[in-house]
Amino acid sequence: MTPDRIFRGLFVLYLLAFVAYLFAPLLIMSVAAFNESRFPTVIPWQGTTLQWFSAMWADAAMWKALGTSAIVAVLVVLVALPVGTAAALVLTTLHARARSFAYAVMVSPLLTPGVVIGISTLILWRQVGVGGGIALIVVAQTTFIICYVMLMVMARLQRFDRTQEEAALGLGASKLMVFRRVLLPFLRPALLASGGLAILQSVENYNTTLFVRGFETPLTVFIATKVRTGLTPAVNALALVIIAATVIGAVAYEVARRRQLTRQPRS
């Protein structure tokens, strides 16, 4: 064997190890949902069962947590989409020097640790007598989720041809109408994508939510508490359902995106 082939062989091994590193934990967690053992594991296998799925289904606390997460996610999208879009539009109309300063301020929440966002929000709102709860979770999460929306809308705006607006104006449309009938439809894919991302970010957030949750228990807090206070494979069953949902969602999104790309190859 030449050194080159040994090197290549070693690299293939490394690739396989990397893929195993990525997926073994998720696989073990998912498979453990079907094991009869009371503590979630795969060794020893004590018999195949679906009982943990029905246990999860019957868990009222889980449904309540899911409901809380869903309400928060919807509210986050309702706030983050308009504000993020407005931020992108304001930023793109600023002049160069003002723009780079405003940009730094506007992406700063992304460079702030999540716990700090939660803490500072909690402190500020205590001054006006608002404690942790759904409202504060929404406020704290949107603080940084707006940044993601802004970045995605800006990326799309860069490919916008301003002459379309001018043409519409020349044909007698009002500025409001141009925005509604020309710019908004153009931004639609970016808005849909950032809406999806916002939901994902909101539902999966833990670091920020932990500090502003008050007496609410969103899904991530519910799972983390279970791990510490009494983990059963019912949590794995829930994990498997969430994983399946996210993977299906991601694939559907990717398929939709590709279809979009082939439909308008020029934009």
Partner 1 sequence: MRDLYGRFGGGLATIFLSLVLVWLAAMVLAPNLMMIDYALRPNLPPAQIGGPQDVRSLDNFLYLANEGVHRAIFLKTIWASALVAALTLVVCYPIAFWMAQRATPGQLAVALMLVIIPFFINEVLRTLAWFILLAYRGPLNAVLQGIELIDTPIRWQGNGGVLAGMVYAYILFMLLPIYNAIESLDKSQVEAARDLGASTVRIHRRVVIPHAKAGIATGCVFTFMLAAGSYVAPALLGSPGSRWFTEIIYNWFFEGGDWNRGAAYALTLLVLCLAVVLATLRIARVNLTDVAK
Residues in region 189-208 near partner 1 by CB under 8 A: 200, 203-204, 206-207
Interior angle at CA 120, CA 117 and CA 125, nearest 5: 120
Restricting to residues 123-182, name those near partner 1 by CB under 8 A: 123-124, 126-127, 139, 142-143, 146-147, 151, 165, 174-176, 179
22 binds partner 1 per the rule CB under 8 A? yes
Among 2, 21, 97, 129, the residue binding partner 1 under the rule CB under 8 A is: 21
Q: Is 192 exposed, middle or buried (0-12, 13-18, 19+ CB in 10 A)?
A: middle
> Do residues 168 and 181 touch, judged by C-beta distance below 8 A?
yes
- Residue 102 CB, shortest distance to partner 1, in Å, is 9
CA distances 200 to 76, 118, 185, 210, 251, Å, are 11, 18, 23, 17, 14
Binding marks (x or -) toward partner 1, 46..65, rule CB under 8 A? --------------------
- Residue 57 CB, shortest distance to partner 1, in Å, is 18
Instruction: Report the distance separating Cα 128 and Cα 231, nearest Å.
Output: 38
Q: Is 28 exposed, middle or buried (0-12, 13-18, 19+ CB in 10 A)?
A: middle
Among 6, 13, 18, 36, the residue binding partner 1 under the rule CB under 8 A is: 18
- Residue 180 CB, shortest distance to partner 1, in Å, is 9
CA distances 106 to 88, 111, 153, 154, 192, Å, are 10, 10, 14, 12, 21
3-state secondary structure 55-101: HHHCCHHHHHHHHHHHHHHHHHHHHHHHHHHHHHHHHHHCCHHHHHH
Among 20, 58, 116, 252, the residue binding partner 1 under the rule CB under 8 A is: 116
> Do residues 118 and 210 touch, judged by C-beta distance below 8 A?
yes
| Choice between 42 and 55, CB closer to partner 1 | 42
247 binds partner 1 per the rule CB under 8 A? yes
Binding segment toward partner 1, per CB under 8 A, in 9-17, 50-58, 59-67, 70-78: 9-17
Among 66, 86, 134, 135, the residue binding partner 1 under the rule CB under 8 A is: 86
3-state SS, residue 158: coil
115 binds partner 1 per the rule CB under 8 A? yes
- Residue 47 CB, shortest distance to partner 1, in Å, is 17
Binding segment toward partner 1, per CB under 8 A, in 53-61, 70-78, 109-117, 184-192: 109-117
43 binds partner 1 per the rule CB under 8 A? yes
Among 2, 48, 93, 163, the residue binding partner 1 under the rule CB under 8 A is: 93
| Choice between 58 and 94, CB closer to partner 1 | 94
Instruction: Report the distance separating Cα 80 and Cα 57, nearest Å.
Output: 32
